[in-house]
Amino acid sequence: MKVLENFSLKKFNTFGIDVSAKYFLEAGSVSDIQSYLDDKRVGELPRLILGGGSNILFTKNFDGVVLKNNIRGIELLAQDQEHYYLKVGAGEVWHQFVMHCIQKNYAGVENLSLIPGSVGAAPIQNIGAYGVEQKEVFHELEAIDLKENKLVVFSKSDCQLGYRDSIFKREAKGKFIITSVTFKLFKTPKLNTSYGAIGQELEKMEAKEVSIAAISQAVCNIRRSKLPDPEKIGNAGSFFKNPVVSNEKYESLKKDFHGISAYKDNAGMKLAAGWLIEQCGWKGKQVGNTGVHKDQALVLVNYGNANGAEVFDLSGKILQSVKEKFGVELEREVVIV
């Protein structure tokens, strides 16, 4: 593999932040990664594994090695009466994988259409949207143990998947490189149109039947209408997690703030972070070269020349104002580097 020095990462993060990596290399196979780990020039330096760059905010140059995971391939491993088992390279584009499933009539990921990023990032973040989480179709993954430089398998329970969370964001953070993910997809669709906007969009589309293809198209339509295209304006999608509060806290908030948006969660009530941010007056507000998107308060944007520190500072001001107004602490969903 060719190791590039002082490499610009502007095109490799959807925020479009202009920073550089001391060293940069791309890996197309497991053996590529293992060779990199054996390379004495870069093996001991700080490292960052980069997928689609859609859930990251660079606040400074990276003084180490950025490894771009480009392992591709979609393989049907097995099937039984109810499921298809698909092994997918970590470097595959998530939405292209979803489109492959729609085309083959493999059900389960249609509600996760148009989420930016790579397949390898999906279990790390346990991505979710429109009533579905990645963990509902996750089977297992393969990853390289960076210390031992060997391939290991993580089962679903090993990954400790939670709301926008996994073991790879906690005790296993920075210790493994995911190389492939195996998904357990359904032969008989379990169609989920419970998210209100999907039903409305299907009516607007005048869909003749509710199918995984129709749901996927509805989700794409909704996302395109609400979320800015990173190709046109730099952003990383939802910047904040939806906070979960106790039932008691929710009842208290409901008394003081009519119209508060929330829904039930296993741990209590999940509040809509976008609604909280909008009530604090941030929606559509521009601060220097950055700001909050005019149509979706969860999305922070780069108007062209913002640096990561500006975006991070803005997110801090938003966190503070939500805490002061509602007594609720938001958490950043985006990885800060």
Q: Catalytic residue numbers? A: 164, 238, 333
Q: In angstroms, rounded to a whole number, what is the distance separating the alpha carbons of residues 118 and 52?
A: 5
Q: In angstroms, rounded to a whole number, what is the distance separating the alpha carbons of residues 272 and 285?
A: 19
Q: In angstroms, rounded to a whole number, what is the distance separating the alpha carbons of residues 315 and 299?
A: 10
Residue 336 β-bridge partners: 57
Write the DSSP symbol of residue 241. P
- Cβ atoms of 273 and 240 within 8 Å: the answer is yes
Helix axes 196-205, 212-226, angle to 10 degrees: 100
What letters, b where the CB count within 10 A reaches 16 and e where it falls short, cover 228-261? bebeebbbbbbbbbbbbbeeebbeebeeeeeebe
- Cβ atoms of 68 and 321 within 8 Å: the answer is no
Amino acid identity for residue 130 in this structure: Y
Q: In angstroms, rounded to a whole number, what is the distance separating the alpha carbons of residues 62 and 56?
A: 13
Q: In angstroms, rounded to a whole number, what is the distance separating the alpha carbons of residues 130 and 115?
A: 11
Distance of CA 68 to the CA centre of its chain: 16
Q: In angstroms, rounded to a whole number, what is the distance separating the alpha carbons of residues 310 and 304?
A: 12
